[in-house]
Chains A and B, each alone.
Chain A
Amino acid sequence: MGRASSTRRAFLGSSALAGAAWTACQSPAPDSEPAPVAGSLGAPVRRYGERSPFEKGVRGVRSTQTPEAASSRTPLDETFGIITPSALHFERHHAGVPQIDPTNHELLIHGLVERPMAFSLDDLKRLPSVSRVHFVECSGNSGGEWSPAGAPSVALSHGLASCSEWTGVPLRVLLDEVGVQPGAGWLLAEGADACLMQRSVTLEKAMEDGLVAYGQNGEAIRPEQGYPLRLILPGWEGNTNVKWLRRIKLTVGPQYVKDETSKYTELMEDGTAWIFTFEMDAKSVITRPSGGHTIPSPGFVEISGLAWSGRGKITRAELSTDGGQTWSDAELQEPVYSRAFTRFRLPWRWDGSEAVLLSRCHDESGYVQPSRAHLIEERGTKSAYHCNRIKGWRVAADGSVTSAEA
């Protein structure tokens, strides 16, 4: 006992900065002064934590007749760093969130394999695992940015993207276990939701960095994110990261299922459509300050935002505070992970006059985030998905922030 309390005193003494706040919640040690302010007892320990009731950030949900086939958006301006809290990870479901008992759930791998096999959660958790930080982004994210006006807030403009640390078994391990037959070039991944959501993806990607994930941000994947098992294909459009994963079939070619033909394809002006547009192009957005915010007074404001690319690491984020006339390199938060949110920051002193804030990112493949005009020159205005144009925020003289016309 004596030893324990002396250890605690030593710890308190060594963290002078935290000391004031820390001592307020501790019963005083016998040899210390009474606390400078009288306090009442706080809440007791609890088994599963919740955030402070003063924090109000929630996912954005639009009213719809079919909330089971809908989306909710991450309030990116309410998140810090690069990890999205699991409870705020965006959702896109096509037939609701199934409730799955993991003891009754298996992953079947069959088709062009030597040995069709089924893996239970217990099997999967015994196999070699990896944890990796990756974004998942719906390819419909930023769809409103095809218009010159753009969406009024960062949740509405970019909130169909989130970033987590995912833990699971490399898909390559499982494919080696079942033995892929020569001639297999694709695989069909299927979820256990009511519509048995399916997508065809290439065997090459599966072997390169596909992950059969059961963990998200240190705990089991949330039901909305695919509990107990989902596919993670780093950098590929969200819909291919099949949730509630229950079956993988090795095939020669793609199956041309509904969600890779009638949806998640990009229509060009001539009426043809791009199909199997898997990689998410590099994108960035300023999250603070952003639409809906008000800067209370002129003076120092840190500009902060997120950049990500489906083709690897973000290498550079440039910011402009004058609508693109001049640009400055923002600082990238280390470490920078491949195919993950990358936080950028730039100190700024707002002089109280109107300003237009823009961000533009580069990735390690050499790709540079395009302007709206540049994107439309390449793809027209009908493709709906995969809009990654530069987004601007206008700061008015009264400090209010709105979407800047592009």
Chain B
Amino acid sequence: MRKLRIHKGLALALLAAQALAAQTYGLGRPVTAEEAKRADVTIGPEGRELPDGRGTAINGAQVYEVRCKECHGEGGVGGDQAALIGKPEQLRESPPIKTVGSFWPHATTLFDYTRRAMPFEEPGTLTADQIYAVTAYVLHLNGIIEESFELNRETLPGVQMPNRDGFVRDPRGTSAKP
């Protein structure tokens, strides 16, 4: 038993030595997984990083009224800032109408951007429940989900956006000709 413990200790020491050896300069501060997780506000398209919380378009309408309408307009159109409502067919109009409903490929992006950057003058002040709710409201106005559909970390990644397949990787390549 004692011998085994020594072997384990040796193995750990060897691993630590290897890790140290891979660093050339020895500068910078090691960060624990917990600290990195606290700083990590990324939300990818699969939504694995979504927080707890829930909301429907019904409560989202109230959040929108108070925190969003002034800039984005009644019902998500007609405001001074970006219109939020539209259909992919409108991408072929002149000028094209690029909105959450017509253009955005992932529903998770709406949650992420609202959480990071909205409301414009007070980003970071909405609760997770409020963000799920207002996300649901905007998706509902676009006809993408039902009014009573509850968004949460399980359901949001499954929401299919109308323009999900509308993007193609840059076809210019690295030696593109005009």
**Residues of chain B with a CB closer than 8 A to A256's CB:** 44-45, 105-106, 108-109
Query: Smallest CB–CB gap between B92 and chain A, Å?
Result: 5
Smallest Cβ-Cβ distance to B102: which chain A residue: A271
CB distance from A113 to the nearest CB of B (A): 9
Nearest CB in chain B: distance from A21 CB, A: 48
A195 and B123 contacting across the interface, CB-CB below 8 Å = yes
Question: Which of B31, B106, B116 contacts A117, CB < 8 Å?
Answer: B31
Contact B169 A276 (CB under 8 A): yes
Indicate whether B19 reaches chain A with its CB closer than 8 angstroms: yes
In the assembled complex, the CB of B82 is this many whole angstroms from the nearest CB of chain A, namely: 8
| Whole-angstrom distance between the Cβ of B26 and the nearest chain A Cβ | 9
Q: Is A86 an interface residue (CB 8 A)?
A: no
Pick from B33-41, B131-139, B142-150 the stretch touching chain A.
B33-41
A-contacting residues, B90-104, CB 8 Å: 91-92, 94-96, 98, 100, 103-104
Chain A contacts for B103, CB-based, 8 A = 261-262, 273
**A267 proximal to B (CB < 8 A):** yes
Q: How far is the CA of A272 from the CA of B32 in the complex (A)?
A: 42
Separation in Å of the B95 CB from the closest CB of chain A?
A: 7
Beta-carbon contact of A279 and B177 below 8 Å: no
Q: Which of B29, B31, B112 contacts A110, CB < 8 Å? A: B31
Instruction: Give Cα distance in the complex from A174 to B23, angstroms.
Output: 10
Q: Does A258 contact B (CB under 8 A)?
A: yes
* Chain A proximity of B66: nearest CB distance (Å): 20
A114, A119, A195, A374: which contacts B117 (Cβ < 8 A)? Answer: A195
A94 near B117: Cβ-Cβ < 8 Å: yes
Knowing A110-B36, A194-B117, A195-B116, say if A176 contacts B24 (CB, 8 Å). Answer: yes
Contact with B along A372-391 (1 / 0, CB 8 A): 00110010011000000000
Q: Which residues on A sit within 8 Å (CB–CB) of B45?
A: 255-256
CB 8 Å contact bits of B12-56 with A (1 = contact, 0 = none): 000000010011110111111101100111111100000000000
The answer to whether the Cβ of A251 comes within 8 Å of any Cβ in the partner chain is yes
A164 at the interface (CB under 8 A from B): no
How big is chain B's contact interface, by range? 35 or more
Q: Which residues of B contact A365 (CB under 8 A)?
A: 174-176
What sequence of 0s and 1s flags, for each residue 248-265 of chain A, a beta carbon within 8 Å of any chain B beta carbon?
010101011110011001
Cβ contacts A276-310/B at 8 Å (1 or 0 each): 11110100000000000000000000000000000
Say yes or no: B166 contacts A127, CB within 8 Å. no
How many A residues face the partner with a CB closer than 8 A?
67
Identify which of A115, A176, A258, A367 contacts B177 (C-beta below 8 A): A367
Question: Could you tell me the distance between the alpha carbons of A190 and B117 in the complex, rounded to whole angstroms?
Answer: 12
Q: Is A403 an interface residue (CB 8 A)?
A: no
Of chain B, the residue at the smallest CB distance from A65 is B80
Residues of A103-131 whose CB lies within 8 A of B: 106, 108, 110-111, 114-120, 123, 126-127
Which B residues lie within 8 Å of A178 (CB)?
28
Kindly list chain A residues whose C-beta atoms are within 8 Å of the C-beta of B96.
267, 382
On whether the beta carbons of A366 and B177 are closer than 8 Å, the reply is: yes
- Asked whether any CB of chain A lies closer than 8 Å to the CB of B88, the reply is yes
Q: How far is the CB of A100 from chain B (nearest CB, A)?
A: 16
A383: nearest residue on chain B (CB-CB)? Answer: B96
Q: Among residues 327 to 384 in chain A, which have CB atoms less than 8 Å away from a CB atom of chain B? A: 365-370, 374-375, 378, 381-382
Residues in A whose Cβ lies below 8 Å from that of B92: 269-271
Q: Which residue of B lies closest to A119 (CB)?
A: B28
Determine if B169 and A69 form an interchain contact, defined as CB atoms under 8 angstroms apart.
no
Residue-wise, chain B 119-137 has the 8 Å CB interface mask toward A (1 for contact) of: 0100100000000000000
Interface presence of B168 (CB below 8 A): yes
Which B residues touch A311, using CB under 8 A? 174-175
Closest to A188 in B: B42
B112: A residues at CB distance < 8 A: 257-258
Query: B89's closest neighbor in chain A, by CB?
Result: A271
Q: How far is the CB of A125 from chain B (nearest CB, A)?
A: 10
Chain B: CB-nearest residue to A378? B178
- In the complex, the answer to whether B42 meets A279 with C-beta atoms within 8 Å is no
> CA A207 – CA B100 in complex, angstroms?
34
A247 to B37, CA, bound (A): 12
Partner of B91, one of A271, A279, A381: A271
Residues of chain B with a CB closer than 8 A to A94's CB: 117
* Other A-B pairs beyond A256-B105, A274-B171, 11, CB < 8 Å: A95-B123, A119-B28, A178-B28, A247-B40, A251-B42, A272-B166, A274-B168, A277-B170, A279-B172, A367-B178, A382-B96
Closest 5 CB pairs of A and B: A370-B178, A195-B117, A110-B36, A258-B113, A117-B28
A interface list, Cβ under 8 A from B:
65-66, 69, 94-95, 106, 108, 110-111, 114-120, 123, 126-127, 173-174, 176-179, 188, 190, 194-196, 198, 247, 249, 251, 253, 255-258, 261-262, 265, 267, 269-279, 281, 311, 365-370, 374-375, 378, 381-382
